[in-house]
Amino acid sequence: MQAKDIMNADVVTVLPETDIKEIAKTLADRQVSAVPVVDAENQVVGIVSEGDLIRRADRSTFKGPKAWWLAFVVSPEKHAREYVRDHGTRAEDVMTRDVVSVTEDASLHDIAVLLERRRIKRVPVTRNGKLTGIVSRANLLQGFVAESAASDASLDIDDASIRAKVIEGMREVEASHISFTDVIVKDGVVHLWGSVRSKTQLEAVEIAARNVPGVRKVENRITIMPELLSSTLWAE
């Protein structure tokens, strides 16, 4: 899957000169958390998020005097930029200008890495530099779910191979003591039998079975050994 397969193509946008009150109303009415700012050629020049507006409101609420020493550590240029963001009335005054975007053929993996590294919640999608959509974290999650479902549907694995993989996975569970468990697989349904030492091991063994490709269902009949018997079997 690529960005074009999961993106929201019905993207509401604003112009650089759009009033921030109108932007706030748009965010509320459309129930979105951000809007791209585009120029006359539909190229992304910025993005305004609800966080940008909230931070602006927080700064404008505090009217107390600034510490005298800030004049020595804050450059005039930075001070001017902060003034514009705090007092400006248009999208171009408050928008984030360093906007990262992806093309329509970007993979879900690449988008996920980008969102994580940049610590952002959404990314614009472009074609030849022009906005065509936007991918949010929710879109990305839906895409991964769809990919997983499609992958599972295409699997045709025999029961013997599934059983071998389940046993291999269970052996990776630390101190699971595979010798006290058994696995039977019928038509992709895994039946687990035997005993383990604790509830945590019980859960870990079932997860190991569920994670094997081709498994349709797990019937877990493993029991937890009585503490006295467990202590005896694993006594040093």
Q: Which of 101, 124, 148 is the last residue of a domain?
A: 148
Residue 211 forms part of a structural domain: yes
Residue 154 forms part of a structural domain: no
Do both 58 and 136 map to the same domain? yes
Residue 153 forms part of a structural domain: no
Do both 119 and 142 map to the same domain? yes
Indicate which CATH number applies to the domain containing 36. Answer: 3.10.580.10
Distance, CA of 129 to CA of 56 (rounded, Å): 30
φ/ψ region of 127 (left if φ > 0, alpha if ψ in -120 to 50, else beta) reads beta
Q: Provide the b/e sequence for 71-105 (b: ≥16 CB within 10 Å).
A: eeeeeeeeeeeeeebeeeebbbbbbeeeeebbeee
CA-based nearest residue to 167, from 208, 195, 200: 208
Distance, CA of 128 to CA of 100 (rounded, Å): 15
Do both 21 and 131 map to the same domain? yes
Q: pLDDT class for 61, splitting at 50, 70, 90?
A: very low
Residue 100 forms part of a structural domain: yes
Do both 17 and 132 map to the same domain? yes
Do both 173 and 141 map to the same domain? no
Distance, CA of 24 to CA of 229 (rounded, Å): 65
Q: Which of 31-35, 62-66, 168-172 has the lowest mean pLDDT?
A: 62-66
Do both 97 and 140 map to the same domain? yes
Whether 179 has a pLDDT exceeding 50, the answer reads yes
Do both 141 and 164 map to the same domain? no
- pTM value is 0.59
Q: Tell me the pLDDT tens digit for each residue of 189-227.
A: 999 988 888 888 888 889 989 989 888 899 999 888 776
Count structural domains, the chain. 2
Whole-number percent of the chain with pLDDT over 70:
76
Do both 109 and 163 map to the same domain? no
Q: Which of 87, 122, 148 is the last residue of a domain?
A: 148
Do both 141 and 43 map to the same domain? yes
